Amino acid sequence: MPTELKDAATIASKKAFSLFDEFKAFALKGNVIDLAIGVIIGGAFGKIIDSLVKHVIMPIIGALLPGEKGYLGWKLKVGDSEIPYGLFIGEVINFLVVALALFIFLKKFLGWMMRTKQEEPVAIPLSKDQELLTEIRDLLRLHTGQRSPPPTS
């Protein structure tokens, strides 16, 4: 195998491994994993709310509306065709309830997440030099009669 071909193969393999390493670093970042978890939880939560709307809320609305089938029976006849606009209205209501529930859930969830991330920062312990300088400063202030300021750490 000629040297030029070996060099080209080596360069190509290094680029491939470099690209793989970059992808791995990107995929394992906290933000990407958080996003994936959020999408999965959001999808599952959306299904639960969708079921609540279709099987609990909409049947109650249908029972309150006039007619045998409630909103499900609302159809517009155009020639030989029927346009079931009642089903469309039901889906719009379903969407609005799901969107509202997801908004409230995410607002509370994200608020909780932000509170946990903004906890008190951990105080960095003073180095030995800083401790000694602080003691010297406090002793000098005590000796001269000055009030000492509140501790900084």
What are the extents of the domains in the chain?
Answer: 3-144
Predicted confidence pLDDT, tens digits, the chain (153 residues): 566 656 666 766 666 667 777 777 776 776 777 778 888 888 888 888 888 888 898 888 878 877 777 777 888 999 999 999 888 988 888 888 888 887 888 788 777 777 776 666 677 888 898 888 889 998 888 888 776 566 655
Long-range contacts, stretch 121-130, CB < 8 angstroms, 24+ apart: 123/153, 124/153, 125/153, 126/153
H/E stretch holding 103: helix 85-117
**3-144 topology per CATH:** 1.10.1200
**Backbone angle region of 151, left / alpha / beta, with phi > 0 → left and psi within -120 to 50 → alpha:** beta
Which two three-digit tokens encode residue 45? 């939560």
The Cα-based distances of 22 to 16, 26, 83 in angstroms read 10, 6, 53
In this prediction the pTM is 0.47
